[in-house]
A = this chain, B = another copy of it.
Amino acid sequence: MMGITRYTRILALFDENRPSLTVAEMSEALETSASTLYRLVREMVAVEMLESTVESHYRLGPLFVEYYRRIVLTDPLIRSGTKFLEPLATQAGVACTAILARLYGKTVMCVAEHRMPAATFKTSYELGRPMPLLRGATSKAVLSSLPKRNITALLADKASEETREALAASFAAIRKFGFCETRSEVDRDLIGIAAPLRNAELGINASVSVIIEARSLTTETQPQIYTAVTATARMIEGFMAEQLG
């Protein structure tokens, strides 16, 4: 075993379906001696990546809440964009969830969201959940504004020649119209409408989107939603630029 993966292998065991584990369970899952795991777990508890709880189980610890807070306080996109999500949802004029997502290394992730009480449907885009790169308006809008070489690097192992060309065409369309709309690409009967958002100086490639039910999109609501999304994107970009100082 080597490096930081000693620890991240352990962390990866904890998720929605497995909120807590014993050392014996980790030992089994990772095929590593209990002796070693007790030592690693002890280190992780000391730095609060894990916490010891009842019945010799361990859980994720407060370090993650603390560093999430640090990200919220320091990330230029989150700082500039979060406050516009509620107004965007209102302006859209239909039951929707407004989200802010960004490219983070090789994944697109939702970093802030505002769910209207009326938006009762369930979306896959959830705060902190890594999303597919090539499906959904949110992801496509992010990629569309990337320099070509970054796109090729990202897609190198992901897409065939033809899908790559299809994607290039759709990215060109997004750049032309200023937004992207997809239907049922991520969740059945849901539509995503997203506008790209970037700041080259800060190295941020992102998008702002609204997710609505397919039946909410009519010739009447359409223009209002498109305008709201693209206008919000420009606004957030403006605020990010101000933050440079």
A residues lining the B interface (CB < 8 Å): 3-5, 7-8, 11, 14-16, 19-20, 40, 43-49, 51-54, 59-62, 64-75, 104-105, 107, 109, 111, 126-130, 200-203
Contact check: which of B45, B105, B201 meets A62 at CB < 8 Å? B105
Nearest to A6 among chain B residues (CB) is B4
Residues of B within 8 A of A73 (CB): 16
Which residues on the B side are within 8 Å of A66 (C-beta)?
A: 109, 128-130
CB distance B201 to A54 under 8 Å? Answer: yes
* Contact of B109 with A74 in the complex, beta carbons under 8 Å: no
| Given A15-B70, A60-B67, A66-B128: 7 more A-B contacts, CB < 8 Å | A4-B40, A5-B43, A7-B7, A59-B75, A64-B64, A69-B128, A69-B129
Once the chains are docked, how many angstroms separate the CA of A127 from the CA of B5? 28
Distance, CA A72 to CA B126, complexed state (A): 11
- The one of B45, B48, B109 in contact with A65, judged by C-beta atoms closer than 8 angstroms, is B109
B74 pairs with A11, CB closer than 8 A: no
Interface pair B65/A65, CB less than 8 Å apart: no
Cα of A47 to Cα of B3 in the assembled complex, Å: 11
Given the known inter-chain contacts A54-B201, A61-B105, A62-B130, please indicate yes or no for A43 contacting B3, CB distance below 8 A.
yes
Residue in B closest to A47 when the chains form the complex, CB atoms = B8
Query: Cα distance A109–B206 when bound, in Å?
Result: 31
Give the chain B neighbours of A67 by CB distance below 8 A.
11, 60, 64, 68, 128
Provide the residues of chain B in CB contact with A20, threshold 8 Å: 74
Asked whether, in the complex, the Cβ of B54 is within 8 Å of the Cβ of A64, the reply is: no
Residues of B within 8 Å of A104, CB to CB, are 48, 51, 61-62
A4: chain B residues at CB < 8 Å are: 7, 40, 43-44, 46-47, 49
B45 touches A60 (CB 8 A): no
Give Cα A61 to B201, complex, Å.
18
